[in-house]
Structure 1
Amino acid sequence: MKFYADRVPVALRQLITDVFVVIWVFVWLRIAFWIQDIVEKLAVPGEKLESAGTGIATNLADAGGKVGDVPLVGDELTKPFTGAADAARSIADAGRQQQEFVGQLALILPAVAVAVPLALVLFLWLPWRLLWIRRAGVASAVRENPAGQDLLALRALTSQPLTRLARLGPDIAQSWRAGDPAAVAALAELELKQLGLRGRRR
């Protein structure tokens, strides 16, 4: 398996691209965590609301219980405290709901923020990089034997632009069909150069 080209300019470009992609992913992950921290701070008012509502409801319920002990009018005096305690519980519930909503946002917003950058890496850069690794690995493995040279030459004939092939001579395809070693070597060298690899060792 070959991760980088033999030729320095191509290898340097690949290395810079790989480093950039790693930094790109790291930066967006940091942004996602930053968004999560900011959103989670929005839950603080909900926490205070829940705490205050629960505390008020408890105190009102206790007070209502004590007032309820008053003979004859205890039940009548308890009703306002009960109603106020229920209202305080509603406030506490609103605080809990707000915290749940913020918790969902704290998951969704960072995921959305990081989804597009990661999708670019996974669906654009990574397939291109893996394709080069596979092609370069095969090419570097076969370049040292004559049959491999012939395969590389055939690959060059089928995939290289006509302008590059024409530079090798107008009869390059005919020379390859005739098994001309120089033509085969030139075509194989062209394909290896396209991949950023050095030619066959002399």
Structure 2
Amino acid sequence: MKPYADRFPVALRQLVTDVLVVLWVYLWIRVALWINDVVERLAVPGQKLESAGSGIADNLADAGGKVGRVPVVGDDLTRPFTGAADAARAIADAGHEQQEIVGRLALILPLVAVAVPLALVLFLWLPLRLRWMRRAGIAAAVRDDAAGRDLLALRALAGRPLSELTRLGPDIAQSWRAGDAAAVEALAELELRALGLRVRRR
């Protein structure tokens, strides 16, 4: 496979496009990381809620344990502390649940943000780039052989627009069928130029 064209304008365009694609991917990866950071900051209130709830629940449970030692009325005095400790644990659980939801969002949202740009690169740009590299590599390998020039001429006849073919003459297809060397050369050169490859005069 041939990574870049021989002709300067085409090679420069390919190089600039490749650099822009790499920058495009890098930019979206940075955006995904930024989204991850922003979303993870939303977990801070949940962490504080969990920490505060757990601390209050532990303190209330301690206080309830101490009050429970009071003779006769200890059990009655413990109930409000136990209820408050349970409420504080519920607050801590809510904070923990919020952190889990934020953690899932911090994973999903960056993936969604980077998936579409990467899909455009992988399914649109990359196949076209690889197809050109394969075609250009084959064309560069056969351009010096007589049989290869015939194949390039046939490829030009089959694939180039009619407007380009008619510039070579109204009877270019007939001349190629007749084996006219000048017609074969002109068609082969047309295909090579379309691929951005240097035409080697024979």
TM over 0.5: yes
Partner of 2:120: 120
Structure 2 CA distance for aligned equivalents of residues 33 and 170 of structure 1: 59
1:137-148 equivalence runs, <5 A: 137-148=137-148
Partner of 2:199: 199
Partner of 2:15: 15
Deviates more, 1:10-19 or 1:116-125: 116-125
- Following superposition, the deviation at residue 178 of structure 1 comes to 1.3
Instruction: Give CA deviations for 1:33-92 in whole Å, capped at 9, x if unaligned.
Output: 011101101100100000000011011111111111111111111111100000000000
Instruction: Give CA deviations for 1:146-173 in whole Å, capped at 9, x if unaligned.
Output: 1111100000011111111111111111
Partner of 2:152: 152
Instruction: Give CA deviations for 1:2-55 in whole Å, capped at 9, x if unaligned.
Output: 010000000000011000011111111101101110110110010000000001
Deviates more, 1:85-94 or 1:111-120: 111-120
Partner of 2:43: 43
Counterpart AA for 1:4: Y
1:1-202 equivalence runs, <5 A: 1-202=1-202
**Retained in 2: the 8 A contact 1:43–1:98?**
yes
2:80 alignment partner, SS class = helix
Deviates more, 1:88-97 or 1:60-69: 60-69
2:112 alignment partner, SS class = helix
**Retained in 2: the 8 A contact 1:144–1:201?**
no
Structure 2 CA distance for aligned equivalents of residues 158 and 44 of structure 1: 64
Structure 2 CA distance for aligned equivalents of residues 189 and 98 of structure 1: 66
Structure 2 CA distance for aligned equivalents of residues 98 and 23 of structure 1: 35
**Retained in 2: the 8 A contact 1:5–1:195?**
yes
Structure 1 CA distance for aligned equivalents of residues 43 and 139 of structure 2: 57
- Following superposition, the deviation at residue 103 of structure 1 comes to 0.6
Taking structure 2 as the reference length, the TM-score comes to: 0.97
Structure 2 CA distance for aligned equivalents of residues 155 and 105 of structure 1: 52
What stretches of structure 1 move > 4 A for 4+ residues in a row? none
Structure 2 CA distance for aligned equivalents of residues 81 and 100 of structure 1: 29
- Where does the alignment leave 5 or more consecutive residues of structure 2 unmatched? none
Q: Please give the root-mean-square deviation of Cα atoms over the aligned residues, in Å.
A: 0.9
Taking structure 1 as the reference length, the TM-score comes to: 0.97
- Where does the alignment leave 5 or more consecutive residues of structure 1 unmatched? none
- Following superposition, the deviation at residue 201 of structure 1 comes to 4.8
Count of residues in correspondence between the two structures: 202
